Amino acid sequence: MPESPPKDGGGSGKDSSQADTPEQPADEEEQEHERAVEMTAASAYVVYRAVLKESLEELDRPSIALAWSGLAAGLCMGFSLVTEGLLQSRLPDTHWRDLIGKLGYTIGFVILILSRQQLFTENTLTPIIALLKYRDGKTLYNVCRLWAILLLTNLLGGAIIAYTLQRSPVFSPDEREAFLRISSEAMQPDRMALFTKAIFAGWLIATMVWMLPVAETGRIWVLILIPYVIGLGGLSHIIIGSIYCVYTIAAHQHTWSEYLGHFAWPVLLGNCIGGVALVAVVNYAQATAGSEERGAKARQRVD
């Protein structure tokens, strides 16, 4: 019986397989491009857009929500003093004690940021990014509203936890002595030193906030390392520093007038300058510079 000729379907299958072959390099190229994107660090503009999105969400929050969040943050920052004091009271009095003890300083930051609570110094960056972009009266009003609410509620929460720690019998006399020793260091520098230290602290806190949107799995390390540097360097932070000062007031070591006249205003001013001028404005400028040119190039690629 003669062999039947090959069917057209077999020939068509061969042709289709040959037609599919040129598509494979294109698929591989697309996969390689996706891998390259995953391995490439986010650009400054991408970070800027993430911070801007977060800032707009915070500026739209009701005042009562901001107040509760700020009060919770002020209370939680007290755990920086608690943890550092507990570590200090259990370590020998040696030159390396602060290297371990200052790890406790970071705990308040870890708690409040992972809990999405609002800290005043954190918000020297995020709302200013929105203000620099829109530059209108409504955004300015919301920035002032957010700052006023968070500063007052952070300080109120901090004062409550400071008085509670000093007056309650929760901790042993040795532990409370460690709390007082740590707190007494807050007002030791003169006003100019406090102001300068506060600029660096505000700079580092705002930088930390700028880093967090792209930190991903390294987020916890950012929250530990940067506050650790602030604590180890004795840099002045308006909220934690106020907790320290109020603790000494509750212990009758300082007065409210000393706190307001010597510590509060230079540290508040320095934190704002460090967060707004050195981070928010500079990072906004470097992230948005050339954005129109980037947009034009992107449109050209699409065309």
Confidence of residue 122 (pLDDT cuts 50, 70, 90): confident
pLDDT the model gives residue 302 = 45
Confidence of residue 125 (pLDDT cuts 50, 70, 90): confident
- How confident is the model over 14-54, as pLDDT tens digits? 444 444 545 555 666 666 655 555 445 567 788 888 889 98
pLDDT the model gives residue 156 = 98
pLDDT the model gives residue 154 = 97
Which of 39-43, 136-140, 238-242 comes out lowest in average pLDDT? 39-43
- Cα–Cα distance between 49 and 52 in angstroms, integer? 5
Q: Contact at 8 Å (CB) between 85 and 137? A: no
Query: For 7, left (φ over 0), alpha (ψ -120 to 50), or beta?
Result: beta
The three-state DSSP-derived secondary structure of 17-47 is HHHHCCHHHHHHHHHHHHHHHHHCCCCHHHH
Domains of the chain from N-terminus onward: 44-286 (1.20.1080.10)
- pTM of the entire predicted model: 0.81
Q: Is the pLDDT of residue 5 over 80?
A: no
Residues 6 or more apart in contact with residue 235 via CB below 8 angstroms: 197, 198, 200, 201, 204, 229
Q: Is the pLDDT of residue 296 over 90?
A: no
Q: Is the pLDDT of residue 10 over 60?
A: no
Q: Is the pLDDT of residue 298 over 50?
A: no
- How confident is the model over 269-285, as pLDDT tens digits? 999 999 988 777 888 88
pLDDT the model gives residue 42 = 61
- Cα–Cα distance between 108 and 85 in angstroms, integer? 13
Confidence of residue 138 (pLDDT cuts 50, 70, 90): very high
% of the chain residues with pLDDT over 70? 82
- Cα–Cα distance between 279 and 201 in angstroms, integer? 11
Confidence of residue 287 (pLDDT cuts 50, 70, 90): confident
Which tokens is 52 given?
């801007």
- Cα–Cα distance between 198 and 206 in angstroms, integer? 12
Q: Is the pLDDT of residue 2 over 50?
A: no
Average pLDDT across the chain, whole number: 86
Confidence of residue 178 (pLDDT cuts 50, 70, 90): very high
